[in-house]
Amino acid sequence: MAETTAPDLTARIAELYETDALDEIIRLIESTPGYEHDPELVGSLARAYGAIAEPGETERLEKALALLDTVDEKDRENHYWHYRRAYALFYLDRVIESLLHWEKALEYRPGDEDTLDFIRMSKNELVAERFFHPFRERVETIAEEFSKIETELYDTAVLGELGRETALARIRALFAPVANPKWLFELSEEKTEGQGGKPRMKLTLSPCGWFMTAFPMRECLRRLAERANARWTFALGIEPLHDPESLMRLVRDAGKRTLHGSDLRVVPQRLEDGTWRLGFFGDDLLGVTEEEAPELFEALEWFVRKSVGEAAQMRWFSSMNLYRRTPDETGVPYAEFADFVRECVPETQTFSMADLLSQETVVDRRPDREPDCDVLLDAFHLETGCAPLHNGYGAADRDNMIELERQGITAGIFMIRLSPEASDKEKATARDALEAHLREALPAESVLVTGRGSALRYEYVECFAWESGPVVAAAHDHVQSDPRIAWAAFHSFLREAGTLILKDLESAPESAEEGADEGADENADGRTDEADVKPEARTETATETQPEIQPARDDVAAAAEKEEPARESPIPIAHA
pLDDT at 55: 82
3-state secondary structure of 188: strand
pLDDT at 511: 41
The DSSP bridge partners found for residue 185 are 205
Q: Beta-strand (E) ranges in 368-420?
A: 379-384, 410-417
Segments making up each domain of the chain, as ranges: 7-125, 135-236, 244-354, 359-498+552-561
pLDDT < 70: residue spans in the chain: 1-6, 193-196, 508-576
pLDDT at 193: 61
Long-range contacts of 366-373 (CB under 8 A, 24+ apart): 366/565, 366/566, 366/567, 367/455, 367/456, 367/565, 367/567, 368/564, 368/565, 369/456, 369/565, 372/553, 373/559
pLDDT at 195: 60
Instruction: State in Å, rounded, how far the first CA of the chain is from the last one.
Output: 60
Contact 324, 274 (CB under 8 A): no
Give domain 359-498+552-561's CATH architecture: 2-Layer Sandwich (3.30)
Half-sphere exposure of 318 (CA within 13 A, CB side): 15
pLDDT at 518: 41
The matching CATH number, chosen from 1.10.3720.10, 3.10.20.600, 1.25.40.10, 3.40.50.300, for 7-125 is 1.25.40.10
User: With 0-12 CB in 10 A as exposed, 13-18 as middle and 19+ as buried, what is 263?
Assistant: middle
